[in-house]
Amino acid sequence: MRLFDIREKIILGLDITWFEFIDELKTIFKDQGAMLIMFIAVFTYPVVYSIAYEKNVVRDIPVTVVDLDNSASSRQMIRMFGATKEISVAQEVGSLHEARQIFWDGNSKGVILIHEGFEKQLLRGLQASLSVYCDASYFLIYKETLGATIQAAGTLSAGVEIKRLMSAGSGEEQAMQQRDPIPAKFYNLYNPSGAYGSYVMPGIILIILQQTLLIGIGMIGGAGKERRNNQVVKPGIRVKQGLFSVIFGKGMAYFVIYLPSLAFTLIYLPKWFGFPNKGNFADVCILLVPYLFSVIFLGLMISMLFRRREHSIMTLVFASPIVLFVSGMSWPASSIPRLLYQLSHVFPSTSMIPAFLRIRTMGVSINDVRPELIFLMVQMVIYFLLAVLSYKISVVRQEHKHQARITVLSFEDK
């Protein structure tokens, strides 16, 4: 008898799971707003962002050079500025006032001032100086302009010193060793070109997947509240007997819907735009399963909080910049207040992004991201139970309202 009861419960659970899976798919495809978010937006945003970052690095920044020395050395310095890949000499003017006006007009992003007596100081063996005015309102422009100027000035300075040492009797190789006794070699690991798109896009794609999924689930939950139907009580099925099956069925519907999005954004998009793709794809899939289910169950849980579909859009779109900031991408996680960073782990993306980047960018195995994987799996189970609890509370409230309505109607009949 006990085995028979267990078998009946399993069959009932499977029936409820399948019913909810099909019913949720029908609900999604009938909701134009959810379709727009889950199909159009999730494909459009990654492509648009990837196109915007297609150049990856900032190059040929226009700068204005003010040459007050007008000497052979200053002209050589200007040629070295133009030879760098980061900046290009757009104008050469004779006064700082004129250069300032060109900058304010938006025709240059920086000003380099070569002071009068530049060549004379070099020939005397004294230290010559350059003044660089960078547009620090845009960090990448500031960084590249300053870096290129330092590189060009350092090259000219090295050449001057090597010539001075050779004139004192040293050989060329000896002079170079004396000029730079401890040469430093720099290697950019995992992102050799220093490309911004290759750094930021893999993480942004994960956040886009998370936020579109949360918004879509919230819209469907809010639409159910608007129809006075919280998408829990279904005809012919006793939901109280299978809330676990209800949540799992709904979750599988969203998981299946997002499989094409995962294939596009994590397989074809990196190949299309040349984003890092060093890790084992099987390891990526192992990490993606608990991540996606954690997001889905989180969405099902919070969807019960929205009474109208617009509420989910306003709330979750407002939260998107916060999610990006606390993820550790726009600002190092070590510099974020500890309490805030711990609270940010409410969002699965906070744990997923560093683990995903280490697999795809650094080529590590799934064993090297085991703490994040375990955290995501625990988070998946917790959000599943919380989603069940939130739906149960919603069912109880709906039944109380239904009973109250029946009582009022009975009283009016009497």
Give the model's confidence band at 228: pLDDT under 50 very low, under 70 low, under 90 confident, else very high. very low
Given a cut of 70, is residue 91 above it in pLDDT?
yes
The alpha carbon of 237 is separated from its chain's Cα centroid by a whole number of angstroms, namely: 42
pTM to 2 decimal places = 0.80
Residues forming CATH 3.40.1710.10 domain(s) in the chain: 61-179
- Judge whether residue 231 has pLDDT over 50: no
For the cut 70, the answer to whether the pLDDT of residue 395 exceeds it is no
Per-residue pLDDT of 93-148, as tens digits, reads: 988 999 999 999 888 999 999 998 888 888 887 788 889 998 888 888 888 898 88
- Position 383 pLDDT exceeds 90: yes
201 pLDDT higher than 90: no
What's the pLDDT band for 352 if we cut at 50, 70, 90? Answer: very high
- Higher-confidence residue: 315 or 345? 345
**pLDDT, position 405:** 56
Q: Note the pLDDT tens digit of each residue in 273-305.
A: 888 788 888 898 999 999 999 999 999 988 887
Of all residues in the chain, the percent with pLDDT exceeding 90 is 23
Percentage of residues in the chain having pLDDT higher than 70:
86
Mean pLDDT of 24-48: 87
Architecture of domain 61-179: 3-Layer(aba) Sandwich (3.40)
- DSSP per-residue letters across 259-289: HHHHHIIIIIHHHHHT----S-HHHHHHHHH
Enclosing H/E stretch for 7: helix 2-30
Contact (CB, 8 A) for 148 and 171: no
Query: Please, are residues 296 and 251 in contact by the beta-carbon 8 Å criterion?
Result: yes
Asked whether residue 53 carries a pLDDT value surpassing 90, the answer given is no
Which comes out higher in pLDDT, residue 404 or 289? 289
Q: Is the dihedral of CA 235, 241, 243, 248 positive or negative?
A: negative
Q: What is the pLDDT of residue 295?
A: 95
